[in-house]
Structure 1
Amino acid sequence: MSGPSAYSEATLAGPDGTKFYTRRYSPPSGTESRAIVLFLHGFAEHIGRYEHVFPQYTLSPYNFSVFAFDQRGFGRTALEEGGKPRKGITYGFTSWENQMEDLVFMLGQATQGLSSGIPVFLMGHSMGAGEVLSFITLHRSNSAAAQVPVLSGVIASSPLIRQTHPAPKWQRWVLGKVSDIGSATGSLAMSVPLAATALAHDPEVAKQYAADPLVKLKGTLRGLGDMLNKGEEIGEKGYKSWPADLPLLVLHGTDDEITSFKAAQKFVEDIQAKDKTFSAYQGGFHELHNESDGVKEKFIQECIDWISGRLGIPTGVSKL
């Protein structure tokens, strides 16, 4: 592609031989990146839904790069362009262990070809935001732990810590047992109810979401169990492990009917970070980056300015 929305695409062989679809958004040719943002998308979606967001990060005076990938079991990593499943792949098939392993791998990929010591920011939305918070607070592998000190900051958009309307405890108990057992039962898929109208106030967002062949509202028992139960673990005890020197920005709409605004707010209140910000968007739905009436522009700019502030770059120089 060319123009301000330019990105490069690649398919990378990652853990377990998974072929990941990736995109890299870079500053104009000849301009050195001042930071790299590794982004993780939400449940049942893909990085193609952020084409209007990430080009803004690359513009002067910011000149950030963004590296994003369709997660294991989702988007083009799981499906062909027309939405047909790739051979031998179950849509939504993933686990917390898979996600942490994939994240470590992608951190290494994101910085390839960039200057040594470039500041690295980790960002996620919804399920992806829950993953980045889990990576920092619940990681158990030495490889994951070794990556944390290199991060310059974390951004979590509408993080899945708890659902706004939680599933019954018995359902989460069953999903948790499946996750613990880790048997073939965990690969069984089930439909997940989600109202597209709850994503954003703009009705076009719901229409495009419903018509997107790369969006399928289903997951596997293992993936769903880990997603919900690890989210709760973040809020119940994971917050105690947040590094004091790692900056955090959490952004959440007050009217989010999918992930809990109150749980996200409490997480930020509870962690002992020296530099932490909870940004509440009054009346905002789940996807602030797709909201109308200037909200998405404000959201994108706030994220960019927050990164800039951690790098000592004057903010508000170039508004969207």
Structure 2
Amino acid sequence: MIRLVAETGAPRLDRFLADRFSEVPRARWDIHVRAELVKVNGQPVSKGGTKLRPGDVVETDLPVITAPAAHLEAEDLELPTLFEDGHLWIVDKPSGMVVHPGPGHAGGTVVNALLHRLQTPVAAIAGEEGSEGEDAEELASGWPGLVHRLDRYTTGCLCLAKTAEAQRGIQAQFKARTVEKRYLALVRHSPRLPTLGSLLVDEPIARHKQDRLRMVVAAGGRPAQTRLRVLARTTSAALVECELLTGRTHQIRVHLAHLRAPLMGDPLYGGPGRWKDTAGGALLLPHPALHAWKLSVDHPVTGLRIHGEAPIPDAFRALAASLGLEIPL
């Protein structure tokens, strides 16, 4: 049971819950409330539009989000393999591939590719639903084989489970924060980036009150921690290694923007968006310059530490070179 206290100027109940648990849509919270599964000051309520007063105590469990697994189709899609055995499949997700089906993406996703790889009934690999959220990198239970997500245009390491047992085991590691995830980011240079060593950004994240597509650093948001280390820099740009210690929606993008060092190619968070090569004038990287470089996880059956490392994409290297940054890797 989760217990929350409303602050000054708290909104209606369903919005209050959606702001704190961004992985659950507000419409799903409204259903949860109408089923009288949320209490305010110890009493069940049945309307998502219930107005909260400062100091009101809200108690609830996270709703179960049901994925339409029974309607998924297996598709023969190319996904480079970084590690594979009978329990895990760590892939190098390409830019532009969506992790699971959703509005506008009925197929062609990582989940469709996993089903083809396994030739296994969906029920055999569909783990328990409901989990702590992660970013676009957040945890993604409810979908067969998924234990975390990457944004559509983020490249690199994505861990998939081949059995329900493996899915539950890896999800537990994400919740315990024992999974190591390191990203590479090309950003606008900022004096707030670390000069030597690393910097721990420990700033809570919440959904923007007006722009529901964006997340922001905000008091009262969900705890979020990112460790940053600058690998190369010029007067205008930097290559940054980002270690996710928690997993919130858009966490790296939000924390970098908070330091005034937004990702190149990320106009949603203030990053410059277009570069052209010197020859043909082609776009070098038309999306956020973020690469899920390394992932380490304990094997859910053997207990051995498994390490995945995704090669840096050519487009990422080309952009770095155009910015005068040498990638020392």
TM-score, L = length of structure 2: 0.29
Task: Give the helix-richer structure, 1 or 2.
Answer: 1
Task: Give the strand-richer structure, 1 or 2.
Answer: 2
Bigger radius of gyration: 2
